[in-house]
Amino acid sequence: MRLIARFAKDRGTHFDVITVYNGKTDVQQCDKNKPLIESLTKKYPAAIWFERKMFDDFGIQVEGAFDTRPLLHHERFPKNIHPMLKNFNDKSLDLVEPTAYPYERINGDGIFEVAVGPIHAGIIESGHFQFSQAGEDILHLEVRHFYKYRGIEKLLENKTLDEAKAIIERISGNESVAYQIAFFEITAQAWHVEIPIHIRKRNALLLELQRVISHLTSLGFIPNDAGFEAALAICSKLSEAARRVMQRITGHRFGFAAIGFEIKEIDIEDFSLYLDSLQKDINWFEDWITDIPSLWDRFDNTGKISLAKAIKYSTVGVVARASGVTQDTRDNQFYIDYGFEMANEKSLDVAARFKVRISEVKNSIVMMRNFLDNTNEKVIFKSLHDGEYNSFVESSLGELFMHVQIKDSLIERFFVRDPSFVNWQALHTMMDGNIIADFPLINKSCDLSYAGNDL
């Protein structure tokens, strides 16, 4: 089984710890007077961030965990404060004197540490990377994020679905459409409404357009981090063109407020002409960049993650599929009927992740042509039902999992697991045999989200 998520709920008299696998969900009750659960990290290493988060959120201790350091709570966060408890209603915190974070260390002659971040030179979210080095060689990397803890899970408590929508769609800008679709599907479940096929097609079209924007951006920045700026110039032009198409269709470059039961008509002729142009551009780009040996010398065998480790660390999206994992939430009859083909590579490296992105852009063009449909039928609503609802969406970064519990027509518990939450945890496994100058290239080839983690 593949681990998807692990999170907790405050049930008043006890905690429920929910563990989601593919095809199975386990619920374990936990005594509030002695909140203790067993760690899953021996079998699922990626469980560790989930478990550390549960302690920060609820004070639930994890027995047998190899790491019990705070995850969300940084140096000045007050001790014994767990903001996801139902009785926590403070509007501010009394910050404490900072204590040094105990980074993992490797000792030995000639070994030194390099700290990168959390503030970076470019336009990038906060994130810290702690390297242990022997000269240029990377011995170990520790990733530390969550510098912009926004309290989104707490913020959404007691909100209506309508009030929550604008917040959820802005959690991670480069995955806005995916977040919207995940929440839209949960809304439909709660209203007991079957999503009409024309709306499913429109949602899928916008999701693929967002995937194209994301992949084109990465296809420019990956070569740029190998010193080949020309690719960035070309792909920046292509991704900007795609963003302008998104704005024409939805009214916003990031597709905010794009997903709903009422849809705007698309200029099919204009969009088809755009797809024709994009098809020519991506074919030319693939032929051009494939024929630059010096670039592939940097890509090949750099940042490898084996199939076994990709599975062990529960990776998703391009990171997983470039290591031979055949996992994609779109691998279902609906998408297959409209032209979906799973992209896979087996060389495990930056080159594989680059090639998967090109393949996915080309496949997205095929699907977007097939999704074009201006049907617009009225959807009849009945009544909102309390309950617990899940959704899965294949964002440009990988599988997005969302859970919403509704009680008395309000959100009782909101939880989302961004694909980057698991993929960040596998990043350190890609450092073996690489030098620190290759880190930006490896990191960019994974295209991981900071904002998607900093809830």
pLDDT, residue 447, reads 93
Q: Residue 209: pLDDT above 90?
A: yes
Strands 387-395 and 128-134, by their bridges, are unpaired
* Angle formed by the axes of helices 197-224 and 268-290, nearest 10°: 30
Q: Residue 123: pLDDT above 80?
A: no
Asked which of 89-93, 186-190, 442-446 is least confident by mean pLDDT, the reply is 89-93
Asked which of 95-104, 335-344, 421-430 is least confident by mean pLDDT, the reply is 95-104
Give the separation between CA 317 and CA 175, rounded to whole angstroms: 13
pLDDT, residue 330, reads 98
pLDDT, residue 279, reads 98
Q: Residue 384: pLDDT above 90?
A: yes
**Interior CA angle at 307 toward 1 and 347, to 5°?**
150
pLDDT band of 181, cuts 50, 70, 90:
very high
pLDDT, residue 271, reads 97
From residue 142, how far is each of 30, 139, 145 by CA, in Å? 31, 10, 10
| Phi-psi group of 248: left, alpha or beta (phi > 0 → left; psi -120 to 50 → alpha; rest → beta) | alpha
Strands 14-21 and 3-10, by their bridges, are antiparallel
DSSP three-state, residue 28: strand
| Span 281-318, pLDDT tens digits | 999 999 999 999 999 999 999 999 999 999 999 999 99
Rg over CA atoms, the chain: 22
The model's pTM is: 0.96
pLDDT band of 389, cuts 50, 70, 90:
very high
Q: Residue 199: pLDDT above 90?
A: yes
DSSP three-state, residue 77: coil
DSSP 8-state secondary structure symbol assigned to residue 435: B
From residue 369, how far is each of 33, 208, 404, 415 by CA, in Å? 57, 11, 33, 34
pLDDT, residue 143, reads 96
Q: Residue 46: pLDDT above 80?
A: yes
pLDDT band of 379, cuts 50, 70, 90:
confident
Q: Residue 362: pLDDT above 90?
A: yes
Q: Residue 247: pLDDT above 90?
A: yes
pLDDT, residue 122, reads 74
pLDDT, residue 378, reads 79
Give the separation between CA 420 and CA 120, rounded to whole angstroms: 19
Q: Residue 92: pLDDT above 90?
A: no
Average pLDDT, the chain: 95
Q: Which CB contacts under 8 angstroms, 24+ apart, belong to 339-347?
A: 339/363, 339/366, 339/367, 339/369, 339/370, 340/367, 345/321, 346/307, 347/300, 347/301, 347/304, 347/322
Q: What is the mean pLDDT of residues 383-397?
A: 97
Q: Residue 222: pLDDT above 90?
A: yes
pLDDT band of 38, cuts 50, 70, 90:
very high
pLDDT, residue 228, reads 95
* Residue 317 burial (C-beta neighbours within 10 Å; 0-12, 13-18, 19+): buried
- pLDDT above 70 covers a percentage of the chain that reads 100
